[in-house]
Chains A and B, each alone.
Chain A
Amino acid sequence: MDFFLNQLLNALLLGGIYALIAVGYTLVYGIVKLVNFAHGEVYMIGAFLGVVAISSLGLPFWAGLALAVLGCGLLGLLIEYLAYRPMRQAPRLAALITAVGVSLFLQNLAMLVWGSEPRAFPALAPSGEEHFFQRAILGGRDGAGAVFIPGKFVFIWSITLALMLLLDWTVQRTTIGKAMRACSLDKGAAALMGIDVNRVISFTFVLGAAMAAVAGVSYGLYIGSQIGFRMGVYPGVIAFSAAVLGGIGNLRGAFLGGVIMGLVEVGARAYLCPWLEISGGYSVAFAFAILIGVILVRPTGILGSSAVDRS
């Protein structure tokens, strides 16, 4: 039972991370109809910025997180402005290739700057905040025979959930959110209504990048090691699959999809792979298999509309 619970927590944690990344994909796709291949690299850079801030600069955790978020937000802004904006009128294929180019560039830039050896995320002593969460949410149960949920898990999940709710509220209730939804439906009409479409698009990118930064730092906190320049590749594809699974363009769908992907991957690694007697590395393959299954059966995803785009 302990094993199961442990795996469940792992799965939810990983799912939360995937959800944060998937949100970036789905928001960007919704508004500019582009798969931002460089998004996985933003996540990776977020993790690195966290490492640098906490290890090299000696900043406390919250400051490190803030630095990562700011840095990635700026990065997202730059990517959109320099690489994607010129391609807005270009054919889709060209825009996709540009995205791939940016992804390649960022990966190798990270490799040059931070080296090709993976690093460890600095281990953090449980801070006051963690204890607070632990006690407040669990009622302080961590004695023998009771459920022990690691502080890290609670900590990360609190941040993830809070951000998700904040994001959902932003998109549904605020003016900028309404502008985002308008732009994703019809940019031309939105412009005619007086919305500054460029600013909305930039904002969307910044938002997605910020989420990815939090995901990167969370991953560092959670796994603690393997912060390397290639760490964004698999999560990038998995998170995109999550976004497709939940319905591309749909924010809640991305969240749902991310959690499902986390469950699938951990479940595969913990149960399915040993049962099938194949290596645990194949757990990622199951996530991809789900992607292909979704595309075959319901391309618009779980929460997406059922109209198929025929154009």
Chain B
Amino acid sequence: MSGWRSRSAQFLLALLLFLLALPWLGPAGAELLPATGHGRLMEVCLLILIYVILALGLNVVVGFTGLLDLGYVAFMTVGAYTSVLLYRQPEWQFTGSFFVVAFIAGLHCALWGVLRGAPTLRLTGDYYAIVTLAFAEIVFLLVLNESWLTGGPSGIKGYPPIALSYQEAPARQVELRLRVSPDPRGSTPENPSGLTAEPSFTPQDLWLGELSPDASPGLRRRYERSSPDSGAGPELRFRNWDGQMAFVELEAQAPWVVLGSGVIDGESPGSAVQIPLEGREPGAFLKPLIYWDLALLSPGEYRAEIRLEPRFARQVLKDGTPGFFYLVLLLALITLGAVTLLHHSRLGRAWAAIKADPVSARSCGIQVGGEKMIAFAFSGFVGGVGGSLMAFKFLIVSTNIFDFWSSIVVLCCIVLGGMGNIRGVLIGALCFIGLGELLREPYLFAGVSDSTRAWVENSGGIVKQILSVKEEGVELNLARTRYLFFGLILVLFMIFRPGGLLPPGGRGKPLLPELRQRLTALAGDLFHLRKDPPGA
């Protein structure tokens, strides 16, 4: 654990304190940072923290064990989709369920990490790299094509955000009667079945959104906003739609979630019960709960019984709230702790031995294959959890968010950090994601001459991609070029600074003199001023 008293460790500690205070700086330091600035800063810090988690996970395979993983996005994707598909179902929304869901997503990815790596255990790292690439592409194809599961290219949205716990409202037993009688007007084009349906509910009061007496004032305040008057709570309604179907609908909008079960009396044909619902964001449309197909019914009385269990979500953690920020910070700290413990353990030494020299590692009694698999599993697990966090930050999962570049971004964080060096990974993520977000910000050159404007207007190619003419001047937007810089950074760092920004033990050669030395050598080679020994 050498070096934890060093300057960079103190820097990281200061950073931690800053992060802990950050969510409260907005309202407190309103003069220092304008509201939008604070929001953006929090968002950037949150993104950095998520990438810290991902980078620490990837670092176990790339930095510790020395294997190049080019398809880390596969875990992010699988983890995100797994957690969303589970969490969006009301049965999976209970107190603390996010942690269970994220854990399962992590395990799922750990499994795939092992399966993916198993064929390559005895081969060199090049094969592993290509297999990770191929695997990521296969996952991408699956997500894109299997729309029934993943929503295809548009992905899945409208799932509820993380709620730490739920307040249960009293369960309700509702009895439905549907009296079907012939329509006096007979069969008409608007009403081909020739029947009308008349519903009655027992008990009469259909508003299900009640809180228990011991609910907190804050909860009551939020509840007020979803009262019957605001029309945003669970409500049972009957609707007779185009004379063909009789619907009983349940509208439940987030933060309400309703579970339930139902039974329809007898084997009335053409009817179905559709519980449970999925919790949805405000503004969701109604969903039929029970329906009867009048064309298949005959006059008479039909009964159904429904049992409903409404829940009200408390402590909703959305992007922008302090709660979510602290959750991510907590997970980042846990990951950091775990990875550090692993690094300084027998397992960590085994990984380092495998990275340095797999042959002599075997000669010391290390089961190279087995230890690699553990690395694959752990790295997959962390990737899955990181993906889950991303899913609940953006509240949408799609192939646009999880694409090939995401793997590279995580890899870059590690490269900048010097690979294998935990502190370096933290600093690498900070600098890299910070740089990426910085590059997203447009920069306005005000007061530009007309001829320059005209030149920008008329240029094509690269100029058009990064410059645009605005009223106030010419705007430089490097967002599109981000990945260009990332690629360049990868190459330059590997050639000039493989130890990363802050090599361990201060072993990096000073950058500028070395850069000058290399460029001189390059010039010399190009102009045959210096003869390279053959094969050097």
Contact = CB atoms under 8 A, between A and B. Distances in A.
Contact of B359 (A92, A284, A308, A310): A310
A97 B68 contact: yes
B13 interface: no
A310 B408 CA distance: 29
Interface stretch (B83-91, B241-249, B486-494): B486-494
Contact of A299 (B123, B461, B480, B481): B123
B141 A282 contact: yes
Contacts of A96: 68, 125-126, 129
A233 interface: yes
Interface in B101-126: 119-120, 122-126
B330 interface: no
B502 interface: no
B487 A98 contact: no
Interface in B130-159: 130-131, 133-135, 137-138, 141, 144-145
A210 to B, nearest CB: 22
A109 B123 contact: no
Interface stretch (A13-21, A99-107, A139-147, A257-265): A99-107
Contact of A285 (B138, B490, B518, B534): B138
Interface in A189-209: 190-191, 195-198
Contacts of A237: 130, 133-134, 137
A190 B536 CA distance: 12
B535 A197 contact: yes
A94 B494 contact: yes
Contact of B415 (A35, A97, A115, A190): A97
B119 A292 contact: yes
Nearest to B460: A115
Contacts of B62: 93
A113 B141 contact: no
A291 B408 contact: no
Contacts of A187: 535
B24 to A, nearest CB: 39
A183 B38 CA distance: 59
A285 B142 CA distance: 9
Q: Is the interface of A mostly helix, strand, loop or mixed?
A: helix
Interface in A73-105: 83, 86-88, 90-98, 100-105
Contacts of B176: none
Contact of B490 (A100, A109, A196, A279): A100
B483 interface: yes
A285 B140 CA distance: 10
A190 B498 CA distance: 29
Contact of B124 (A92, A234, A279): A92
A311 B356 CA distance: 12
Nearest to A29: B126
Contacts of A29: 126
A125 interface: no
Interface string A34-76: 0100000000000000000000000000000000000000000
Contacts of B454: none
Given A93-B125, A279-B145, A295-B123, A103 B487 contact: yes
B131 A111 contact: no
Given A92-B126, A292-B131, A105 B484 contact: yes
Contacts of A284: 137, 141
Interface of A: 29, 35, 83, 86-88, 90-98, 100-109, 111-115, 187-188, 190-191, 195-198, 233-234, 237, 240-241, 244, 278-279, 281-282, 284-285, 288, 291-292, 295-296, 299, 308-311
Q: Which 7 residue pairs are nearest across A and B when measured between Cβ atoms?
A: A101-B490, A104-B487, A105-B487, A191-B535, A197-B535, A101-B491, A108-B484
6 contacts: A94-B494, A104-B483, A104-B490, A115-B465, A295-B120, A310-B359
